[in-house]
Structure formats: structure tokens, C-alpha cells
Amino acid sequence: MADNYLEKRYEEVFGSKKTVKRVGHTLDSLLLKNRSCRGYDHSVRVGEDVLRKIVAVNTKIPSARNQQALRFRLVVAEDEVSVVNQNIKLGGALPELHLPFPGTEPLSFIIVCSAIEPERYVYVDLGISLQSMLLKAVEIGLNGIIICAFNAKEIAEALHLEMPPLAVLAVGKSAERFKLVDMPADGSVKYYRDADGVHCVPKRSLEEILLH
Ligand SMILES: Cc1cc2nc3c(=O)[nH]c(=O)nc-3n(C[C@H](O)[C@H](O)[C@H](O)COP(=O)(O)O)c2cc1C
């Protein structure tokens, strides 16, 4: 093959490298797609193999004192999924919608537990872990949601967990549409559905969050 053939061909098709936008995932594109999802497409099953890939991000992330106290229980079996669904609360800010809509309940979960008595560093680790796993899910083409409104005792008993569950992560193919919107004039942080059913999430601007 001629010297630099592929490079030259690439430039013919896509233009000079200097002007070509990076293809694939950027952090910004992952962050934008990573909206909390409260309705899932049941035609797409997320198996244990995919959940294992998502949990694997935890082998590469920071941890206070590098103690790595978090442990992860995968939930895909129908009976266990059903128990978890009965013990989580989704969309507390939109009680009138009774989310998730029937037939769009999450079907795969990762329960995050702590192998030690949770203290503040464990909670910092927990946040890093949950967001890293969500970003991995988005990279794979899925979505998810962090759930902290759950009945810990019931879930721990049903799943025979020996450690306290700190958070539940649902993962699946989204059946929802969502977008970020500017903060409304009244300053409400409440998410809402627009007339087309799109889930709208207000975010503060950079100027608003920077301290001077
Ligand atoms: C620590 C934490 C706990 C959360 N717990 C719940 C929950 O129990 N139920 C729920 O529906 N959403 C929960 N969420 C999702 C938030 O409501 C969501 O992040 C927020 O509305 C902003 O939407 P976005 O994630 O699409 O930006 C939680 C998010 C975080 C970070």
C-alpha cells in the first residue's frame, strides 16, 4: 500500500485532520446522553455480561485511601428484579405520573454495598463509582439512573446481602426522550415533561455556579 495511503484517503473523505471533529465518544457527549432514565425498552435485555463490564470500571477509578470498600451485586433474575422494583421510588418530583410507566420498569440493577461501616469517604467513593458506571452504560448505548430512595432492609433481605446497600443503579435501553434546559425564571430545579412528553432537566449555568 502506498505511503500514507489511508491517511490521504481519510483526508479526501473527511477533510484535513485539523478540521475534522473527533469521531466517537467525547466526555461531553457522554455527559449529555447520561440523563437519569425512568422508563426502559423491554425488548432490550441487559444481561449479567453487560453489567459485569459496567462494574469493571470500578477497577480503574479513584478511591479515598485506595480502600475500595464498595461491593456490587448484579440483579437480572426475574424474581429479584421484581423485588427491587417494588422497593425503589422513581420520579419523586413527578408523583402524578407514577413513574415508571407500566411495561417500562427497569429490568437490570447493580446494587452498591459497602464492605465496611460507611463513612464520608465511602460516600465520596460511591458518587465516583455511580457516575463512572453510568458513563460506561452510556458508552455502551444504554442509560441508567442512580436510586437512593429505596427500602434498604427489604432489598438486603430479599437478595441475602451481608452488607448494607448504599445505592441502586438501574441500567437498560431508554424508552424515554430527555434534554437539558436552562433554569426557568423562577429558579425551580424541578424536572418536568414538556408537551411532547420529553423529560426536561434544568441545569444551572456555568456563570451561576462559579464563585467570585
Ligand atoms: C445521589 C442521587 C440519588 C438519586 N436518587 C434518585 C431516586 O431515588 N429516584 C429517582 O427517580 N431519581 C434519583 N436520582 C436522579 C436525580 O433525580 C437526577 O439526577 C436529577 O433529576 C437530574 O437529572 P439528570 O440525572 O438527568 O441530570 C438520584 C440522583 C443522585 C445523584
Same CATH fold assignment for domains 24-176 and 177-212: no
pLDDT for residue 1: 44
Residue type, 71: R
Asked if residue 56 has its Cβ within 6 Å of ligand 1, the reply is: no
Asked if residue 33 has its Cβ within 6 Å of ligand 1, the reply is: no
Beta-sheet pairing, 178-182 with 199-203? parallel
Asked if residue 143 has its Cβ within 6 Å of ligand 1, the reply is: no
**Which of ligand 1's atoms lies nearest the C-alpha of 92?**
11
Asked if residue 146 has its Cβ within 6 Å of ligand 1, the reply is: yes
Report the top-level CATH class of 177-212.
mainly beta
**Which of ligand 1's atoms lies nearest the C-alpha of 91?**
11
pLDDT for residue 111: 98
For 22-177, where are the alpha helices, taking DSSP H only?
Answer: 27-33, 48-55, 78-86, 120-140, 152-158
CA of 57 to the centre of ligand 1 (A): 20
Counting ligand 1 atoms within 8 A of each CB, the residue from 146, 168, 193 with the most, and so the one to mutate, is 146
Integer CA distances (angstroms), 103 to 64, 85, 147, 157, 191, in order: 40, 12, 19, 26, 22
Contact 148, 167 (CB under 8 A): yes
**Which of ligand 1's atoms lies nearest the C-alpha of 199?**
26
Asked if residue 50 has its Cβ within 6 Å of ligand 1, the reply is: no
Q: Please tell me whether the peptide bond between 106 and the residue prior to it is cis, using omega within 30 degrees of 0.
A: no
CA of 99 to the centre of ligand 1 (A): 13
Q: Domain 24-176 maps to which CATH number in 3.20.20.10, 3.40.1390.10, 3.40.50.300, 3.40.109.10?
A: 3.40.109.10
Asked if residue 91 has its Cβ within 6 Å of ligand 1, the reply is: yes
Beta-sheet pairing, 70-75 with 109-114? antiparallel
Domain ranges of the chain: 24-176, 177-212
Neighbours of 23 (CB within 10 A): 7
User: How far is the C-alpha of 165 from the C-alpha of 119, rounded, in Å?
Assistant: 13
Asked if residue 201 has its Cβ within 6 Å of ligand 1, the reply is: yes
CA of 91 to the centre of ligand 1 (A): 8
Report the nearest-CA residue for atom 11 of ligand 1.
90
Per-residue pLDDT of the chain (212 residues; tens, 9 = 90+): 445 555 555 455 445 555 445 568 999 999 999 999 999 999 999 999 999 999 999 999 999 999 999 999 999 999 999 999 999 999 999 999 999 999 999 999 999 999 999 999 999 999 999 999 999 999 999 999 999 999 999 999 999 999 999 999 999 999 999 999 999 999 999 999 999 999 999 999 999 999 99
Q: What's the whole-model pTM score? A: 0.91
pLDDT for residue 200: 98
User: How far is the C-alpha of 55 from the C-alpha of 2, rounded, in Å?
Assistant: 44
pLDDT for residue 24: 83
pLDDT for residue 101: 98
